[in-house]
Amino acid sequence: MPTRRFDKIELSSAEFKELGYALIDRIADHQQNIRNKKITAGTTREALQELIRTLEIAPEEGQAPGPLLANTAQLLFEHSLFNGHPKFMAYITSSPAPLGILGDLLASAVNANVGAWILAPVATEIEKRAVQWVADFMGFPGRGGVMVSGGNMANHVCFLAAMRAQIDVDIRAKGVRGLDRQPVLYCSDQTHTWVQKSADLCGLGTDHIRWIDTDEQGRVDIALLEETIRKDFQNDYHPFLVVGTGGSVSTGVVDPLQDLATICEKYGLWFHIDGAYGALAAALPELADQFAGHGQADSIAVDPHKWLYAPLEAACALVKDPVHLTDTFSYRPPYYNFENSEMNYVDYGPQNSRGFRALKVWLSCRHLGTGGYRQLIREDIALAQYAFDLFDRLEDFEAFTQHLSITTFRYLLPIEKGTVSAADANQQLNQLNKAILNRMELEGTYFLSTAVIGDTFALRLCIVNFRTTKADLDALPEYIRQLAPRSR
Ligand SMILES: *Cc1c(COP(=O)(O)O)cnc(C)c1O
């Protein structure tokens, strides 16, 4: 038996400080200089694979931590994609709040296991407050919630809660095979792909999703939805869930939530909102009309790692009543002595051991305040509006949509009248804009993504970025012109 342990893993206090201060210096420099860097280094996949392969991973003797950390920081700062860059406007990936970065470090240091109160007393209480703050900020009257990794998981947790609440037989024990009537759910054709994963993962199968068409804005067709629900009842299916989207991933459009709430009320269905991206905008009084009805939802999924700028990962599954989560997830096995606590997060979601994701969210809320977050969200939306107007005014651009902080548009090249059909012209423009995007991803000064609108390939910018300014947008059209292939 060792009387002294192999102590290489235990850094001395002096060593820890030296390493930590040096790393913090590097991170601070990176943040300070981010505007002058490229968003992507443009390293090819082959070169990157070769680079990582040549780094010795586990020599028998190990390596000194100082150079290891320094070299790794350099590796990451030279070859990563920086979503914290002011000109990164792609997908819905936000820049990380610097205080959130420090929050993650502190959370790791405490290493709270927020599965059980007894293991994480302060952390559990902080998570409760943080989750409630998110609900209150959006004006959602729910009293239950849990933090999970991302929007997909948050939606999935709500999906399972809906099944548990709506399907009366003991679905936890018998699964979906014990059911007389087949459960079906409804969502628009713009719904994010988590819904397929959920239907699949819970054993229901994706054939049980009723995809409802959308209007030209991308909003679910309410009349069609109601007709489909009615038919399903007539044909002895079991409608149980309607999913509305509060800010679609493609164009940011918000479904008519009030109408969805009314239908769910009328037919006794669970009303879930996928607000992973957009639901936090419900905190803006000027958007109250757009989000009307969201308070009537039975559950909402929302991502603090999007519009609250938490570093990845942080999402919230929110439900009206916490009993919907415990009914779905609580088992109380004999090997845990957790009975004495009022609340253990292990009973509220699929995870057992859980990290302290709430800390970075809680810290940022307190740092920025409700007003600060409102202002940041409002500015992002105003910038997206500005971008729309900018592209709309220019002769050689066409602006398509602007909802929340997402704007879609494309670059036009003059096509001689009468030389090609309208469909061919559209095809040519699709090719052109695809080529522009591909070049942009390699070049790395700006980073956008795409939206497919009908049969049109559009460029898409989504501003969930507290560093983006008007000047970053002003320079974008000329940059795109420069990137456009000269001849087709
Ligand atoms: C981002 C997003 C998701 C998925 O969330 P992740 O955090 O990426 O898992 C789901 N739905 C919508 C509307 C989103 O914007």
pLDDT digits (tens, 9 = 90+) for 335-370: 777 777 789 999 999 999 999 999 999 999 999 999
pLDDT of residue 416: 62
For residue 212, CA distances in Å to 60, 186, 244, 273 come to 58, 7, 11, 15
Q: How confident is the model at residue 59 (pLDDT cuts 50, 70, 90)?
A: confident
Distance between CA atoms of 374 and 150, rounded to whole angstroms? Answer: 22
Distance between CA atoms of 458 and 469, rounded to whole angstroms? Answer: 22
Q: Which atom of ligand 1 is nearest to the CA of 194?
A: 10
Q: How confident is the model at residue 417 (pLDDT cuts 50, 70, 90)?
A: low
Sign of the dihedral defined by the CA atoms of residues 261, 267, 268, 269, in that order:
negative
pLDDT of residue 487: 55
Ligand 1 test: best mutation among 190, 197, 249, most atoms within 8 Å of CB? 249
Distance between CA atoms of 480 and 158, rounded to whole angstroms? Answer: 41
Ligand 1 test: best mutation among 83, 91, 92, most atoms within 8 Å of CB? 92
Q: What residue owns the CA closest to ligand 1's atom 6?
A: 151
| Most distant pair of Cα atoms in the chain: their distance | 89
Q: Which atom of ligand 1 is nearest to the CA of 246?
A: 13
Q: Are strands 270-274 and 238-245 parallel, antiparallel or unpaired?
A: parallel
pLDDT over 90 (residue 49)? yes
Q: What's the whole-number mean pLDDT along residues 18-41?
A: 97
Q: In angstroms, how far is CA 59 from the centroid of its own chain?
A: 38
Interval 89-104: pLDDT, tens: 999 999 999 999 999 9
Q: What's the whole-number mean pLDDT along residues 51-79?
A: 92
Distance between CA atoms of 127 and 237, rounded to whole angstroms? Answer: 39
Instruction: Report CA dihedral (298, 304, 305, 310) to the nearest 10 degrees.
Output: -160
Tokens 């002769």 found at: 395
Q: What percent of the chain has pLDDT over 90?
A: 88
Tokens 């000269």 found at: 486
pLDDT of residue 89: 98
Ranges 55-64, 78-87, 409-418: which has the least confidence: 409-418
Q: What residue owns the CA closest to ligand 1's atom 4?
A: 151
pLDDT over 90 (residue 320)? yes
With a CB cutoff of 8 Å and minimum separation 6, the contacts of 386 are 470, 473
Q: Is the peptide bond before 313 cis (omega within 30 degrees of 0)?
A: yes
Spacing, Cα 452 to ligand 1 middle (Å): 17
Ligand 1 test: best mutation among 192, 302, 357, 404, most atoms within 8 Å of CB? 192
Tokens 């309208």 found at: 422
pLDDT of residue 421: 86
Cβ of 97: how many Cβ atoms within 10 Å? 23
**Residue-averaged pLDDT of the chain:** 95
Interval 434-477: pLDDT, tens: 999 999 999 999 999 999 998 999 999 999 999 999 999 999 99
Ranges 33-42, 54-63, 210-219: which has the least confidence: 54-63
Burial 425-461 (b: 16+ CB within 10 A, else e): bbeebbebbeebbeebbebbbbbbbbbebeebbbbbb
**What angle separates helix 151-166 from helix 194-201, to the nearest 10 degrees?**
50
Interval 248-299: pLDDT, tens: 999 999 999 999 999 999 999 999 999 999 999 999 999 999 999 999 999 9
- Nearest C-alpha neighbor of 401 from the set 438, 454, 439, 364: 454
Interval 161-209: pLDDT, tens: 999 999 976 888 999 888 999 999 999 999 999 999 999 999 999 999 9
Tokens 């420069």 found at: 482
What does the DSSP 8-state code read for residue 218? S
pLDDT over 70 (residue 313)? yes
pLDDT of residue 457: 97
Sheet holding 299-302, edge to edge: 144-148, 315-319, 299-302, 270-274, 238-245, 183-188, 209-212
Q: Which residues contact ligand 1 via a Cβ below 6 A?
A: 92, 150-152, 192, 194, 245, 247, 249, 274, 276-277, 303, 315
Spacing, Cα 281 to ligand 1 middle (Å): 15
Q: What residue owns the CA closest to ligand 1's atom 10?
A: 151
Q: For residue 361, with 0-12 CB atoms within 10 Å meaning exposed, 13-18 middle and 19 or more buried, which class applies?
A: buried
Interval 389-407: pLDDT, tens: 999 999 999 999 999 999 9
